[in-house]
Amino acid sequence: MAMIERTWRIAKQAAADQVIITTDDLRIEAAAKKFGAEVVRTREQCANGTERVFEALTNMKATPDVVLNLQGDAVLTPPWILDNIIEAMRADSSVQIATPATKMTMPQFQDLIGQKAQGIVGGTLVVFDKKFNALYFSKSPIPFIRPDVISDAKADVPVYRHIGLYGYRYSALKQYLSLPQGILEKVEGLEQLRALENGVPIRVVLVDYLGRTHWSVDSPDDIGRVEKIIAAQGELFS
């Protein structure tokens, strides 16, 4: 089964009113229609997924209040994570942008540090304030953990891995795309930093994978690992 179909089936399990695949690629459109997905074509000139989502919305008859941007390769994102974002935004109308994060154990953090030491750039971390509004996102390990703490495998550390999924109010999405790209976004390569640089808050929603393994497909090498995880733990949809 193709990644895009797996991700679509996961999204269909969530409490979303409508699931749409947006693409500028005829091959993806044809494949998606074969397995029954609703597809909206966009221009090739879209710079990123956020811009593509907004363009797709402008082609729709009705504009939804809350929009989730789920990447097509997110085959290990459980549907209840999507529900967590939807619920957080429905519960608090002041939340304009929301994104999930999961707390890491010390062994997981140590593993991440080891990967980054080998030049593997995957994995974004986030720190947030007491109201769960993001302070910063980075590909670097944040916050800094002292050596005497990091050597303790049982240490409870405030390290949170960001999950690349976003919920937007339509107005916030429109505002985001009107903002200029900032220096932090450019150097980190993280588009969410544009919002923070311009004072637009992002609510961090803490989520639990309930024993499922989180992994992202950032390179062809990740595909084999993801396939092994699915084989061992099963699909996330029925």
Q: 169: domain CATH number?
A: 3.90.550.10
**Which tokens sit at 119?**
């030049």
Looking at the chain, the whole-number percentage of residues with pLDDT higher than 70 is 100
Whether 181 maps to a domain, the answer reads yes
Whether 34 maps to a domain, the answer reads no
Q: Number of folded domains in the chain?
A: 1
- Which has more pLDDT, 150 or 19? 19
Q: What is the pLDDT of residue 152?
A: 80
Question: Residue 216: pLDDT band by 50, 70, 90 thresholds?
Answer: confident
Domain that holds residue 126: 71-233
pTM of the complete model: 0.91
- φ, ψ of residue 196 to 5 degrees: the values are -65, -40
Beta strand pairing call for 203-206 and 97-103: parallel
Cα separation of 178 and 172, whole Å?
10
Please report, as a single letter, which amino acid is at residue 185. Answer: E
Cα separation of 32 and 135, whole Å?
37
Whether 37 maps to a domain, the answer reads no
What is the rounded (10 degree) CA torsion for 154, 222, 190, 128?
-20
